[in-house]
């Protein structure tokens, strides 16, 4: 089967229009499952993990490292405490709003996201399965108690007075923090600074094993979540992938399932993805503009 491919450089050309036309024909049939990745949130100021060539630009903390020591958790929470203040200010962009618009029009069914930022729900989407969890929640790995991230952040602020000023005032340019926040809310920070951070503890059991309720690298997605997503794929008329490189199996498995089921797979990303060989349509274009154009073509805006 011939697969239309629209490079970024051709975003404003007739070939892009052809890709949009085919995408419109697919979506207008309805029954679309949407799978989104970090690329959908980059226009909200949250960069993805990988560069245009697919190479990982940053190395997040691995699950085994996080659970391995209190010092590792101290490093994580110190960086995350600073990063959260920026991450939590992110707002839905035109891509998130377009997904919500298409869903309200009855064209999209369930939304499955690899993102942990909650921006789909903030844009008004419903029936969202968070494949990797959500940073708004925190779980104690010892006793299983859950708390909201906002309340934990307040406790961290009380336990670490002056920490933000310390971080932002140690260099002539006003910061030791890099400008690059990560998709998990983490941010680069000097080890000398993180060593001065006071770890949070669980208010129920007193353990310092608090962890954001998200799937870390090296950790498995819960089986019931995977099974629910497979059921969604099996009931879908098509699969639309938005902003995911599909470099990890947690998302790529659903593209493989859709291809085996013989349903169309459309992938819209800024650059090539692992799932391109299975795709019946791929558009390498900016997501916000592409999805806005899709909604206009369907007379939804």
Task: Find out whether 226 and 249 touch, Cβ atoms under 8 Å.
Answer: no
**CA 91, 93, 95 angle in degrees (round to 5)?**
145
Nearest CA to 161 among 201, 208, 196?
A: 196
Q: Give the C-alpha separation, 91 to 41, whole Å.
A: 9
- Note if 132 is an active site residue: yes
What whole-number distance in Å separates Cα of residue 181 and Cα of residue 197? 19
Catalytic residue among 96, 120, 132, 284: 132
Active site residues: 132
């Amino acid at each position: 089967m011939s697969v239309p491919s629209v490079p970024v450089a051709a975003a404003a050309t007739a070939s892009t229009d052809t890709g949009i036309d085919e995408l419109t024909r697919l979506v207008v049939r309805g029954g679309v499952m949407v799978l989104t990745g970090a690329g959908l949130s980059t226009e909200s100021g949250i960069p993805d993990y990988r560069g245009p060539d697919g190479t990982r630009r940053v190395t997040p903390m691995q699950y085994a490292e996080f659970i391995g020591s209190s010092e590792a958790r101290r490093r994580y929470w110190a960086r995350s405490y600073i990063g959260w203040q920026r991450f939590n200010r992110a707002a839905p962009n035109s891509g998130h709003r377009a997904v919500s618009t298409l869903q309200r029009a009855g064209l999209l069914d369930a939304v499955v996201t690899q993102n942990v930022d909650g921006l789909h729900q903030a844009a008004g989407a419903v029936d969202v399965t968070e494949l990797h969890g959500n940073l708004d929640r925190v779980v104690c790995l010892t006793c299983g108690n859950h708390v909201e991230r906002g309340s934990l952040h307040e406790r961290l602020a009380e336990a670490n007075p002056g920490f933000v000023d310390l971080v932002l005032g140690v260099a002539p340019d006003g910061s030791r923090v890099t400008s690059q926040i990560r998709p998990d809310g983490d941010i680069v920070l000097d080890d000398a600074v993180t060593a001065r951070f006071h770890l949070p503890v669980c208010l129920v059991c007193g353990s310092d094993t608090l962890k954001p309720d998200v799937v870390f690298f090296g950790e498995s997605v819960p089986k019931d979540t995977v099974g629910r997503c497979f059921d969604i794929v099996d009931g879908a008329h098509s699969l639309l992938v938005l902003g995911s490189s599909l470099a990890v199996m947690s998302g790529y498995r659903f593209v493989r399932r859709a291809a085996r089921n013989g349903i169309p797979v459309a992938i819209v990303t800024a650059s090539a993805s692992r799932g391109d060989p299975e795709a019946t349509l791929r558009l390498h274009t900016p997501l916000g503009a592409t999805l806005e154009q899709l909604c206009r073509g369907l007379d939804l805006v």
